[in-house]
Every structure is written in C-alpha cells, then in structure tokens.
Amino acid sequence: MNDMITMDQIVREGDPVLRKKAEDIELPASKEEIETLKEMLQFIKNSQDDEIAKKYNLRPGVGLAAPQIGLSKRMLAVHFTDFNDREYSMGLINPRIVSHSVEKTYLQSGEGCLSVDRDVPGIVPRYARITIKGTNLEGEEVKLRLKGYAAIVLQHEIDHLDGIMFYDHINKDNPFQPPENSTPAE
C-alpha cells in the first residue's frame, strides 16, 4: 500500500539496525521491495518541498538508505542536483562501489544525517571519484561514474548499508584537518 514515510519512520542513532551490514536483495526485487523503495524516493522529494516538509515536519535530505527506516536491506534512494547542475533521482538496489580514486574530497561544511539528531562538526573524507554498479527501479543494471557532491552523497548512503555512520570517518585528533591528497567538493 502506498502510505507516505514521515520522520516517525526514520530510525535514529543508537538503534542497532544502523550498525548492521544489510543483506543483498534477491533479484528480481519483490513488488513490496520496489514499492518501499519508491516510498523512500518520494520521502526525499517531499523533504525538499518547502510546503510538504513544513506540513509533515520533514527534515530535508538528499539520500535515504533502507536501514534508516528499519529495513536491513541493500537499497537506497537519492534525489539531488550536484554543483554542476546535474540531476540525480533514483532508487538503487544492491549498489556497490566497483572502483574509486585514490584522491579524496569532502564537504567543507561537514555532513548531516537524518538518523543523527545532533550536529557532528568535522571533515568527512570521501573518495573524490567512484564507479557504482547496481539495479534501478526498472530492474536494469546501472553503472554510474560519480564525482564531487554526487560521489559524497552515494558514499554516505552506501555506508549506511554497511553500518557505517558519517562521523566514523572524522579525524578524532583534528576534525577539521583536510585529508591527504584531497580537494573540497563545494
């Protein structure tokens, strides 16, 4: 059934599901899995719509991974425009990073997460360029070559499938130290 996702369904840090490694989805994905992934994508779109977000008290985000709604399954949804005005709006099933640059990048403003109700300041080092393979909502195998903001968002969401939170990557001794061999994304 197509009921909308609101913040009540978003699992917050401390819940063990956020620290589990999610299971691959058996292909072809079930109608229920596809429906859930479509609801996740709709949530992200809603969270960016001022009126809807205000009406339902949604926190804005550009990505959501299934463990964040308590489902330990390898699927995620993203909806955003990167710094070069390229649009990304998709659900991904069993996404995996198949190659990445040595070079790193990061958001100078740090990262936020819908499952983390606090500010965790600091630079989050990410690979500057990644190649991802996965299956989309139409059941097609996709291969994505991403850089900059898009690479950061997808790494943040794929981390959720492996039980990794963005602050796990922040340098404990000097949170604002740019990583070796890196350039800021924004």
Ligand X SMILES: CNC(=O)c1cccc(C)c1Nc1nc(N2CCN(c3ccccc3Cl)CC2)nc(N2CSC[C@H]2C(=O)NC)n1
The CB-nearest residue to ligand X is: 112
Kindly indicate which of the ranges 9-17, 19-27, 96-104, 109-117 contains the residues binding ligand X, using the contact rule CB under 6 A.
109-117
Q: Are 18 and 69 in contact (CB under 8 A)?
A: no
Kindly indicate which of the ranges 26-34, 42-50, 112-120, 128-136 contains the residues binding Ni ion, using the contact rule CB under 5 A.
112-120
Q: Is 82 in a helix, a strand, or coil? A: coil
The CB-nearest residue to Ni ion is: 113
Q: Which of 113, 128, 146, 185 binds Ni ion (CB under 5 A)?
A: 113
Residues 66-95 touching ligand X, rule: CB under 6 A, are: 80
Alpha-carbon 31 to chain mean position: 22
Residues 138-157 touching ligand X, rule: CB under 6 A, are: 152-153, 156
Distances in whole angstroms, Cα of residue 7 to Cα of each of 2, 74, 134: 16, 20, 27
If binding means CB under 6 A, how many residues of this protein chain bind ligand X?
17
Spell out the SS3 assignment of 87-105. EEEEEEEEEEEEEECCCEE
Q: Which residues are catalytic?
A: 157
Sign of the CA dihedral running 121, 123, 126, 128: positive
The contact pattern for ligand X, residues 23-62, with x = CB under 6 A and - = no contact, is -------------------------x-----------xxx
159 makes contact with ligand X (CB under 6 A): no
CA atoms within 13 A on the CB side of 119: 4
Q: Which residues sit at the interface with Ni ion, rule CB under 5 A?
A: 113
